[in-house]
């Protein structure tokens, strides 16, 4: 396979956790990567490890999302997959949740995904192929206390994924939604200590990354539009 035939993936939240693990997994499969996060220094380290293109950006801003897609197409001429790993998950009861908190959670976990999907959609239609993987959570159906905004955003992803999968089917576009249980990441450990939620009950980021790779490779192509629940049972 020539370098121009190697598929290209945009991964958000790529500087740590599941995003980093996904970058490492797809790099091993020979994918060319565009890695997106807000923290430029850490992102550059991951880009060097995976030979990817690092783009520091705020994906809650539609203009910066458009610039990500423009630079990707300018560099590589194609986009084969979009993996939406970026997210925020503050634990706030309704009395503690400000209007700003609500917008931050909805904008990062739901609106930004819409912006990114919309931005790559025309390229996918021209190619008559493309894959989107959105990371949701069990919080969409059974949230921890304080996950009102987070659970609402993730529930919205389920409907967004289904609608896009139906619309994209005629153009060869697949959309997969992974609803994850607890994953051993920095974000999760800011919410729960090992004493509150043992590591033996969490998924490893690389386990999630392997499922993402199965989605983008086509191994799970018949799950487009569905919600795939991924969690440890104890």
Structure tokens at 84: 């939406």
Question: Residue 222 catalytic?
Answer: no
**Other CB atoms closer than 10 Å to residue 70's CB: what's the count?**
11
Q: How far apart are CA 24 and CA 205, in angstroms?
A: 11
Task: List the catalytic residue out of 115, 150, 222, 229.
Answer: 150
Distance CA 166, CA 10 (A): 22
d(CA 199, CA 208): 15
**What's the CA gap between 171 and 39, in Å, rounded?**
34
The answer to whether 179 touches 229, Cβ cutoff 8 Å, is: yes
Long-range pairs for 217-220: beta carbons < 8 A, 24 or more residues apart = 217/29, 218/131, 220/176
The residues carrying an active-site annotation are 150
């Amino acid at each position: 396979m020539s370098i121009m035939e190697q598929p290209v993936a945009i991964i958000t939240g790529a500087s740590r956790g599941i995003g980093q693990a996904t970058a490492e997994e797809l790099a091993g499969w020979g994918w060319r990567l565009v890695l997106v996060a807000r923290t430029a220094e850490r992102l550059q380290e991951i880009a060097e490890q995976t030979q990817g293109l690092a783009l520091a950006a705020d994906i809650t801003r539609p203009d910066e999302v458009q610039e990500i897609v423009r630079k990707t197409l300018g560099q590589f001429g194609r986009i084969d997959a979009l993996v939406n790993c970026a997210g925020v998950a503050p634990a706030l009861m309704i009395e503690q949740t400000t209007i700003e908190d609500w917008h931050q959670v909805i904008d990062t976990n739901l609106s930004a995904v819409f912006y990114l999907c919309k931005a790559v959609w025309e390229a996918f239609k021209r190619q008559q192929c493309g894959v989107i993987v959105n990371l949701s959570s069990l919080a969409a159906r059974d949230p921890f206390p304080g996950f009102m905004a987070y659970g609402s955003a993730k529930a919205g992803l389920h409907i967004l994924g289904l609608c896009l999968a139906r619309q994209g089917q005629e153009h060869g576009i697949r959309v997969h939604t992974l609803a994850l249980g607890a994953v051993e990441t920095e974000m999760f450990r800011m919410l729960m200590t090992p004493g509150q939620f043992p590591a033996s009950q969490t998924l490893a980021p690389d386990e999630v990354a392997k499922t993402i790779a199965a989605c983008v490779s086509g191994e799970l192509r018949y799950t487009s539009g569905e919600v795939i629940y991924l969690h440890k049972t104890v």
